[in-house]
A = this chain, B = another copy of it.
Amino acid sequence: MSEVASQTYTRADEAFDCLQTAIVKGDLVPGEKIGEVELCSRFNLTRGPLREALGRLESRGLLVRRPHAGVKVVSVSAEELMELYRIRETMEGLAARQAAERMTDEEIADLHATLDSHEQMIEQAQGQAYYQAEGDYDFHHRIATGSRNTKLAQMLLGDLYYMVRMYRYRLSTSSGRPHMALGEHRRIAEAIAQRDGELAEFLMKRHINAARQNIERKIKEGALTI
């Protein structure tokens, strides 16, 4: 449990990771007030590092804190979730364009290999939403880092993806359209391989827009309640 993962791993980092995954996985329910001592006993931490982690998480918008009144996980409305996708649309469009201009040939090869393994996973574990979601995350992760835009990657990976993943877990369905999403991923990867930044941006924006509309439709159908 306490191996030296990379360099030194401080208690505050541990607390941060624990809480973040707990929030993303839904173990910590949004809106519900959670006490510090309860969190400490639950994750075997002491209050010092915990408070430091709480500060970080508050800064990232995953939880809100009122002085002397406790901490609670942020609860996002359906409208706000849609707004999140609108932000992703523009930012990941930029990321795709810059990735097309800057990714190394090796990274592009890895991107294709990633998609191959995703295809296999989809065929094997048909309907396993979990693998879809993780595969989707993997693809977008590679493009964000491939943009070579430090701040952009930081904002996407550090802020937006965690909030989106939080709702993926809660909705338990990533998109419900694995083959279609995979095809869209392939086309984006091809555009990047051809160094066509404009096309990659266009396709990425359309891809995320489609995912947003898909979720919006499901919410309107009443299949998903937030």
Contact = CB atoms under 8 A, between A and B. Distances in A.
A90 B94 contact: yes
A216 to B, nearest CB: 16
Contact of A151 (B8, B9, B87): B87
A36 B84 CA distance: 36
A99 B67 CA distance: 32
Interface residues of A, number: 37
**Which of A67, A80, A90 gathers the greatest number of chain B CB atoms within 10 Å?**
A90
Interface stretch (A53-61, A107-115, A165-173): A53-61
B90 A8 contact: no
A158 B98 CA distance: 24
A3 to B, nearest CB: 15
A163 B7 CA distance: 28
A91 B154 CA distance: 15
B83 A150 contact: yes
Contacts of A60: 59
A154 B60 CA distance: 9
A190 interface: no
A160 B83 CA distance: 18
A61 B156 CA distance: 13
Given A55-B52, A56-B59, A67 B7 contact: yes
Contacts of A8: 67-68
A81 to B, nearest CB: 10
Given A52-B52, A56-B56, A84 B151 contact: yes
A190 to B, nearest CB: 23
Contacts of A154: 61
Given A52-B52, A61-B154, A90-B90, 11 more contacts: A10-B67, A48-B48, A55-B55, A83-B149, A86-B94, A87-B91, A87-B94, A90-B91, A90-B93, A91-B91, A151-B160
